[in-house]
Amino acid sequence: MTRPPVTSLDVAGRRLVVRADLRLPAARGKKAPGSDVVALADWLRPLLHQGASATILFRDARGAGTEAAEATLARQLGKALGVTVRRTGLPAADATRAAALALGPGDVLLSANLSAVAEADDGDDPTLAAAVAALGDIHVDDAFALSDRRMATTTGAAALMQASLGGRHTAERAAIAEFLSAAAAPAVAVVGGGTLAARADLLKALLGTFDTICLGGGVANAFLAADGAPMGRSAPRPRDVELARKLARQARQSGTTLLLPTDLVIARELRPNARKQVIAADACPPEGFILDIGPQTLREYQGELAEARRILFTGPVGAVDLPPFDRSSCLLARSIGELTRADLCHSLAGGEATVRIIGLAGAGEDFTHISTGGDAFVRHAASCLATARPRRSDGKAA
């Protein structure tokens, strides 16, 4: 289903049903709108001035039933939009439909937290989809992070009414596509994360399009295991090892270089501040947990990044929840940020843990684009690479 940006439509007198990606305020009494609220308001405000009205739907599992937080969110939206945002119930309620259909030009309504109907939403329940579609004229999907799933409030409702994409969703897709289709080279990717299976499609798409891929985390473990290295207590699943062998063969044929760790940081316990030890990548003892790339590998990866003109960063190279084993990931994020700030490269980052690492590194303002799409970012990036075939630095068409 191809959906145009809502900003390209004539919305005067139309009722928008906006599926937004909003989070309830964490701090009680917090008055300043968060970045998610500001991003929504930036594209919605002009449409309200054109005579549209909007019913905004959101879902935050962390704040189910939190009345005060929902009231604060409504006030923050109102402040950012410059209008009074009224609150209503869930989409299926008669009162919600009546309130949505009574909206006039420039009016805004905020639904109750959809976490109360999460099971129906995740199950693409047709009754919930129909209830959402009955709230207005144009469905606006502004939840890029959900774009890899079929849900009642996104794809389900969109199939029943005129469908469009919100400004934030559109901007995410455009930024990713522009970066991945660019010709600037060398192009280097840092790919990590917990399992190879979660990054396999992206890695396959990167082969032949990026010059070098620096591997870390569980992704690297699968390739090391495929080469026969002992994995201690961090042994990957057999299917990941076989997948690594297949991808390694494809990499050799593609011209893309896969860089694996030459040294690792291990510990005997899975806890923060556990006693650490640096070992060669082929020397993990049976009782060892592999928790980070080693200092030599970090320097090698930083050297590759220093020569790059495009850098993709997705997936930490160590255990981000177990400091100090997040150190290499933070230092790589900082290096990429510094290179970008110096105008030496363009950088794109995405994935939930990656975004968290960039925040810990204090590099959140330095990257060219940081996607908030989580797993959807990884899948969308793989899809973009499969359709847009940029050139490697050797000048050959990928």
Domain limit, last residue, from 114, 139, 168: 168
Give the percent of the chain with pLDDT over 70: 95
Strand partners for 189:
213, 312
Domain annotation covers residue 173:
no
- Do 159 and 229 lie in one domain? The reply is no
For residues 346-356, give the mean pLDDT.
96
Domain annotation covers residue 223:
yes
**pLDDT score for 320:** 94
Burial classification of residue 234, based on how many CB atoms lie within 10 Å of its CB (0-12 exposed, 13-18 middle, 19 or more buried): buried
- Do 150 and 215 lie in one domain? The reply is no
Mean pLDDT score of the chain, rounded to an integer? 94
Query: Collapsing DSSP states into helix, strand and coil, what is residue 212?
Result: strand
For residues 103-125, give the mean pLDDT.
97
DSSP string, 55-67: EEE---GGGTT-H
Helices (H), 159-315: 167-181, 200-206, 217-226, 238-254, 295-306
**pLDDT score for 34:** 85
Among 126, 122, 114, 115, CA closest to 146: 122
Burial call 89-119: b when 16+ CB within 10 Å, e when fewer: ebbbeeebbebbeebeebbbbbbbbbbebee
**pLDDT score for 247:** 98
- Do 213 and 154 lie in one domain? The reply is no
**pLDDT score for 192:** 97
- Please state, in angstroms and rounded to a whole number, the distance separating the CA atoms of residues 126 and 371: 30
For residues 236-260, give the mean pLDDT.
97
157-191 confidence digits (pLDDT tens): 999 999 999 999 999 999 999 999 998 999 999 99
Domain hosting 95: range is 6-168
Structural contact between residues 385 and 254, judged by C-beta atoms closer than 8 angstroms: no
**pLDDT score for 31:** 64
18-27 confidence digits (pLDDT tens): 999 999 987 5
Q: For residue 110, give every residue at least 6 positions away whose Cβ sits within 8 Å of its Cβ, in sequence order, or none.
A: 55, 56, 58, 70, 73, 74, 77, 85, 86, 87, 88
For residues 125-132, give the mean pLDDT.
98
- Work out whether strand 263-267 and strand 276-280 pair parallel, antiparallel, or are unpaired: antiparallel
Domain limit, last residue, from 168, 193, 225: 168
Structural contact between residues 170 and 3, judged by C-beta atoms closer than 8 angstroms: no
188-216 confidence digits (pLDDT tens): 999 999 999 999 999 999 999 999 999 99
Burial classification of residue 7, based on how many CB atoms lie within 10 Å of its CB (0-12 exposed, 13-18 middle, 19 or more buried): middle
In this structure, how many other beta carbons lie within 10 angstroms of the beta carbon of residue 210?
Answer: 28
Q: Give yes or no for residue 315 having a pLDDT over 70.
A: yes
Q: Give yes or no for residue 32 having a pLDDT over 90.
A: no
Q: Give yes or no for residue 396 having a pLDDT over 50.
A: no
**pLDDT score for 397:** 41
Query: Collapsing DSSP states into helix, strand and coil, what is residue 311?
Result: strand
In this structure, how many other beta carbons lie within 10 angstroms of the beta carbon of residue 310?
Answer: 23
- Do 126 and 249 lie in one domain? The reply is no
- Do 28 and 76 lie in one domain? The reply is yes
pLDDT confidence bin for 398, thresholds 50/70/90: very low
Return the structure tokens found at 363. 């590099």
Mean pLDDT check: name the lowest of 30-44, 82-96, 121-135: 30-44
- Do 200 and 301 lie in one domain? The reply is yes
The enclosing domain of 104 has a CATH number of: 3.40.50.1260
Return the structure tokens found at 25. 């305020």
Domain limit, last residue, from 168, 194, 229: 168
**pLDDT score for 395:** 42
66-100 confidence digits (pLDDT tens): 788 999 999 999 999 999 999 999 999 999 999 99
- Do 338 and 190 lie in one domain? The reply is yes
Among 48, 64, 152, CA closest to 112: 64
- Do 219 and 325 lie in one domain? The reply is yes
Q: For residue 382, give every residue at least 6 positions away whose Cβ sits within 8 Å of its Cβ, in sequence order, or none.
A: 201, 202, 204, 205
For residues 116-137, give the mean pLDDT.
98
